[in-house]
Amino acid sequence: MKTKLISTLICLTIALTSFAQSKVVEAKIKVYGNCVMCKKRIETALDYKGIKKAEWNMKTKNLDVIYNSDKISEKKIHELIASVGHDTDLVKAKDEKYATLPFCCLFRDHDHKMDNH
């Protein structure tokens, strides 16, 4: 009887732990861009339901994102980034959208160094 109770408690603990982990997820996504304008554009695009934090590093091109996996998928985050003209390792922006970016943001054609801006 006692053993059964303990194993029930262990099962419950495991279930609760995995439930908590499935909700808030931290991810690092490679996002291509050049400058402060890109940073603003990327982070504004990720001001979206289910995303708690989005911070893009201009130098490393890494986006640190914290999101609720019940509300948004990582795939959707990639699509949001692509929808404003930026490429990720998974989703590429449409050429038409990329073409609307200002000259300094054209990351496919120019790899600007940070100190140019």
Contact residues for Cu ion, defined by CB under 5 A: 34-35, 37-38, 105
- Our CB check for Cu ion shows the closer of 6 and 114 to be 114
Query: C-beta of 88: minimal distance to Cu ion in Å?
Result: 15
Report d(CA 28, CA 6) in Å as an integer.
38
- Our CB check for Cu ion shows the closer of 71 and 108 to be 108
Report d(CA 69, CA 26) in Å as an integer.
10
Query: C-beta of 21: minimal distance to Cu ion in Å?
Result: 35
Rg (CA), the chain: 20
- The encoded tokens of residue 109 equal 């054609």
Query: C-beta of 37: minimal distance to Cu ion in Å?
Result: 4
- The encoded tokens of residue 10 equal 């262990």
Antiparallel, parallel or unpaired: β 62-68 and 24-30: antiparallel
- Our CB check for Cu ion shows the closer of 77 and 105 to be 105
Query: C-beta of 115: minimal distance to Cu ion in Å?
Result: 14
Which residue of the chain is nearest Cu ion when measured via CB? Answer: 105
- Our CB check for Cu ion shows the closer of 42 and 72 to be 42
Residue the block writes with tokens 């590429």: 92
